[in-house]
Amino acid sequence: MKKMIAFALSAVMVMGLTACSSGTQTTQTEPAKTETAATAETAKQEAGENAESGEAAVWPIGTVTVVVPAAAGSTLDLNARIMTTYLQNKTGCPFVVTNDVTGNGTVAYETVRNAKPDGSTLLFTQNLFIQARGGIYNQEPWDNFEVVGDGGENTEAYILVAKSGKEYSNWEEFAEYAKAHPGELVAGIQNGGQAHMLQAILGEQAGLEFQMVEAGSSADKITGILGGYIDVAFVSTPTGAGYVEAGDLIGLMTTTPERSTFNSEWPTSAELGYPDVKILTRTSWFVPKGMDAQLKEAINSAFAGMETDADVEEQLGKLSIKYTHYSIEESENLVKESDELLKEGYKLMEASQS
């Protein structure tokens, strides 16, 4: 019996490798493609049946789509692409990153929520819970998604930037100007996102009134500031640092516990007296609810080794992201801790709006 099971597992693994290989090297005619698709589907079914039997699951089988609710070129997108490149090289299977910011990312969430829990569709995001808690996304994450891994810790988080050459050149001068012109300065946010919360908390704690407008990703916000459409915004530090160095923007504060390695002259929010202006979310890998436990473990296991990969470490380091491989339980606990912080953050944001 054990020999039969071992043979069956070997067969599934071979079919998985065949499906992966065909996905990256296909030059076949249409009939051959159809046959390959059928083989891949059969492999998926057998892998699923194998997982249900309690045996180790095989993952991936064929192409894996990674849905990212952020614009191409954003920090989240680059983070996903670095990690998926590692997975593709490790497994031999093709990974396709799909960017979808429609509905502030909610369409991306729905795409994954409604996907089959067979390991072929993953969600990579940091904003799922913040948008759910803020009412932007109307589905309860814990009822519709499951955590399968961590996406790395952002060691630099956000920086508050404004256009250079204005009436202010640092936070003190900016705050003084904002108080003298209440409601006139336009703050760029992504509705329901973390920067939205940070801007609201800052306004409440600093006693400043901003016009908040939808401005998209960090790259979009910078474009808006440079174009004169918005005055100030929280953007990811790696995205904004170059513009500050070039003299196009000024850095008013950073949300890191310590001063930024990009520029030690930027004061931290805590130093300025706003300790609650800090990163609250956790970038994580999610799958649709109902996935077999063995399959989830197979996905999580595929991430193992990434933290010791020199190329991954170097590339993520450029984004100020440090990856540590956590088990599913550990990854889930990190998301739960983040969720609790978000709930407290929204209380502050609601208080600032009352």
Question: What topology does CATH give the domain 64-155+281-350?
Answer: D-Maltodextrin-Binding Protein; domain 2 (3.40.190)
Q: Can you tell me the distance from the alpha carbon of 23 to that of 9, in angstroms, rounded to the nearest whole number?
A: 21
Give the residue carrying structure tokens 């814990």.
142
Q: Can you tell me the distance from the alpha carbon of 149 to that of 318, in angstroms, rounded to the nearest whole number?
A: 21
What is the pLDDT, as a whole number, of residue 348?
A: 65
CA of residue 80 relative to chain centroid, distance: 7
Question: What topology does CATH give the domain 158-278?
Answer: D-Maltodextrin-Binding Protein; domain 2 (3.40.190)
- What is the enclosing helix (H) or strand (E) of 284? strand 284-288
Contacts of 226 (CB under 8 A, 6+ apart): 163, 243, 248, 249
- What is the enclosing helix (H) or strand (E) of 169? none
How much is the pTM?
0.68
What is the pLDDT, as a whole number, of residue 278?
A: 83
Which DSSP category does 58 fall into?
Answer: P
Contacts of 112 (CB under 8 A, 6+ apart): 67, 121, 122, 123, 145, 286, 287, 288
Same-fold call for 64-155+281-350 versus 158-278: yes
pLDDT in tens, 81-134: 999 999 999 999 999 999 999 998 999 999 999 999 999 999 999 989 988 988
Q: Where are the chain's structural domains?
A: 64-155+281-350, 158-278
What is the pLDDT, as a whole number, of residue 57?
A: 87
Within the chain, which residues score under 50 in pLDDT?
1-19, 22-44, 46-48, 51
The end-to-end CA distance of the chain, in Å, is: 68
What is the pLDDT, as a whole number, of residue 350?
A: 66
